[in-house]
Structures are given as C-alpha cells and as structure tokens.
Structure 1
Amino acid sequence: MITEQDIHYLERAVSLAEKGLAEGNDPFGSVLVSADGTILAEDYNRVSSGDVTKHPEIELVRFASVHLNQEERHQSTVYTSGEHCPMCASLMRWQGWGELCTPRHQANYVNGSENSGVRAQSSTRCRFIK
C-alpha cells in the first residue's frame, strides 16, 4: 500500500516534471530513493537539448551504474511523474531495480511489454512495478 513517504517522492517527481516543462521539455521527472529513504539522484526530461535519450529514468540508470551495486539497485525505488516509455522501461528492468512507482492514472506502461516479465501491482494512488 502507498505511504505518505511514497506520496512525498511522487510529488517531488511531479515537481521535477514541472521544471522540465518550464524549460521546454516534456513533463517527466524521476527520483531514485535508497532503501533507507535517501534521495540518491533525481532528474527531469531534457530532450530539448537535442539528445532524445535525455529521459530522467535513463539518467538515473547512468547514475546507478556508476554509484550502486546490484543489491543497492534491487533495494531502491524509482518514483516517476508518469509511466515509462518502452526504452526507459527496458533499461530499468535490465538494470534490476527493486520497485518502480508511478502515478496510477497513467495507463500506458505495460503496452507492448507483456513479454518482458514486467508485472504491475496497483495500490490506491500508485503502481509499483517489480
């Protein structure tokens, strides 16, 4: 079930998305949180830079590849302002994240990903994807 802490991190992801939107990007933000609740990294969409891979989830994958071992990645949670695109969803699955939390009202995540092994668990306001 979603907690007040989950809501806090989701709100931070939305705040980052708003920052990106103000800079001319698509409104997506993501926050990487350790098992003990520490924010390790955060970013927002920056594709207006001309690099179409500058999605926040990809930046978190890059950060985690350098700074976290497999167990730390597995114990962490990524909070996002919206559902992941197929590129980001695939990278995050391959890297072995513990949980991905995104607002429930988004409905596109698993489209085309049924065979990837991604499973979604819905709570009241959030989907935890393992």
Structure 2
Amino acid sequence: MNRTRSAIRTVLCMIVAMAAVLAGTSVAQATVVSYTVRVKTCDRANADTDGNLHITILGTAGEVPATELDNPGDDRERNRTDEYDLLGEDIGTVTSIILQFRLAGSTDWCLVDVVIVGPHGVTVHPFNNFIRNNANIQIGAA
C-alpha cells in the first residue's frame, strides 16, 4: 500500500509541475503540498450512499482542482469517517470547498462535515444534511 501511495504521489507531483508550466508559473514556484480530507457521514437511517464524490478545495492563493474521493471498498457508510490523501499546489489558507455528488444508486447521502488538514492548518466545513443527486455545493469553513 505504501509503495502504491508513493507512486501516486510521484505522478501527482509531475501533473502539478506540468500544470504550473502551462499556467506560466515556473516549476520552482509551484509548491506541491499534501492535504488530508476527512468526510463524515451522518448516523441516521439511509445516510449512506455508493454515489460518486468529487471535491474542489478553494484557498486564499488558488484552488486544488476537482478530485474524486474514492478509497478501495465502501466509502460514505453510515456513521463513518473516510480519509483521503491529496496532493496539490499550495493554495494558502483553505476558505471553502465545492462538493460534486452524483448518485450511483438510488439514495441521497447525509453529510455531517468535511475536515481539511493542510500545510496552513485545519478547517472544518459543516453541513449536517442530506445532499441530493447532481448537487454542486459550496461549503465555507466554520
């Protein structure tokens, strides 16, 4: 598993470097950092889902583009916190997130909150409600 994560991080660093060059920023200016995303599903009936979830992280100095949040096995199960490791450019202090939710089954999903751990601290993005199919939701930091 560690070897797989290392390979993924290497590829993502290369992608970020290429994006920096295309954006007119030198690779030396593009600082690649790690973000941990924790997604908490509600503890209530029908809270879980097999739907697809993407996150865009917005900060004071840019954004981490939409990234699918998907671990092996079942994600977003009732009363569970799922954790995802992402790499991206240093976007400064995280100000908000955008979630894109698409159903893979027939149930909506109940989100408690999303916690982002990044190089500039921890931000909590509370929601405490169901998210419907085809939703694009922006949630500010608490």
Task: Select the structure that is richer in helix.
Answer: 1
Structure with bigger gyration radius: 2
* TM-score using structure 2 length: 0.34
Highest relative contact order (Cα 8 Å, sep 6+), 1 or 2? Answer: 2
